[in-house]
């Protein structure tokens, strides 16, 4: 088996490492894991000579290990991972509403208990939240998702995109804060708090209806 491991490419070696770790998590013994690897390693090495990746041959690490997961454990994980809708717009909206709820409620609490606290305008709150939601989604799409699927680690391009998105977030926030009060009114602290609760309520209903995966999820998706 060691000979086959030495022949693995970088991507396939990472794939084998991930599925080994996942097999340990679901309770497989060392002997069982060795038996599984002894069966698939020759297939992976043969496939990579045809430039076929292990994940294309055997499925993603979560798909592969699901075949060896005990039925009772599988049913629990399936139930826990029912939120698997990765539609970009919905994931962005989910993150944006979460941020809107968190920021508005925090801003309301600070304004109520500290009269000197800065009250953000409604346009600033919405702009800041949706821009933050977009950055969070990009983090998931460019960093977490590839790593969970056993793909190569994010490169310079991914981090450059994230940096630009973060800068755009700051610029949008700064520009919205410059708007006159007539265009960017600051509601009463209690109204701001209610807006936050409504945002979280809408997020909850959308998540339940469309089973939206959270962009903050870093664990591998199981099918």
| 158 sits in which H/E element | helix 156-177
Assign 150 a pLDDT band (cuts: 50, 70, 90): low
Tokens standing for 112? 């109520």
Asked if the model's pLDDT at residue 155 lies above 60, the reply is yes
Of 93, 62, 104, which is closest to residue 80 (Cα–Cα)?
Answer: 62
Mean pLDDT of 54-83: 70
Q: Give the span between the Cα atoms of 181 and 22, in whole angstroms.
A: 54
3-state SS, 58-89, equals: HCCHHHHHHCCCCHHHHHHHHHHCCCCECCHH
Counting other chains too, the contacts that 22-30 makes at CB distance below 8 Å and 24 or more residues apart are: 22/61, 22/62, 22/64, 22/65, 22/220, 23/65, 23/68, 26/65, 26/68, 26/69, 26/70, 26/73, 27/70, 27/73, 28/68
User: Comparing 43-47, 50-54, 113-117, which segment has the lowest mean pLDDT?
Assistant: 113-117
Tens digit of each residue's pLDDT (9 = 90 or more) over 6-31: 888 888 888 888 889 888 888 888 88
Mean pLDDT of 55-77: 73
Asked if the model's pLDDT at residue 219 lies above 70, the reply is no
Assign 149 a pLDDT band (cuts: 50, 70, 90): low
Task: Return the pLDDT at 222.
Answer: 42
Query: In the 8-state DSSP scheme, what is residue 121?
Result: P
Assign 221 a pLDDT band (cuts: 50, 70, 90): very low
Q: Could you tell me the residue ranges of all domains in the chain?
A: 2-77, 88-210
Asked if the model's pLDDT at residue 171 lies above 60, the reply is yes
């Amino acid at each position: 088996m060691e000979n086959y491991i030495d022949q693995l490419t970088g991507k396939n070696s990472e794939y084998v490492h991930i599925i080994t770790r996942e097999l340990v998590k679901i309770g497989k013994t060392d002997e069982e894991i060795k038996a599984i690897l002894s069966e698939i390693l020759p297939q992976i090495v043969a496939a990579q000579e045809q430039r076929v990746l292990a994940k294309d041959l055997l499925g993603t690490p979560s798909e592969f290990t699901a075949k060896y997961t005990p039925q009772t454990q599988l049913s629990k994980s399936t139930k826990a991972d029912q939120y698997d809708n990765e539609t970009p717009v919905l994931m962005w909206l989910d993150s944006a509403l979460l941020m809107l709820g968190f920021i508005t409620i925090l801003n309301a609490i600070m304004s109520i208990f500290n009269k000197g606290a800065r009250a953000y305008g409604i346009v600033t709150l919405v702009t800041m939240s949706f821009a933050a939601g977009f950055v969070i989604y990009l983090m998931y799409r460019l960093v977490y998702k590839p790593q969970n699927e056993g793909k190569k680690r994010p490169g310079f391009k991914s981090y450059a995109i994230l940096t630009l998105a973060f800068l755009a977030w700051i610029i949008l926030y700064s520009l919205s804060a410059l708007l006159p009060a007539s265009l960017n009114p600051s509601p009463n602290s209690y109204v701001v708090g209610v807006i936050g609760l409504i945002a979280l309520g809408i997020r909850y209903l959308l998540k339940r209806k469309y089973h939206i995966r959270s962009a903050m999820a870093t664990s591998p998706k199981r099918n």
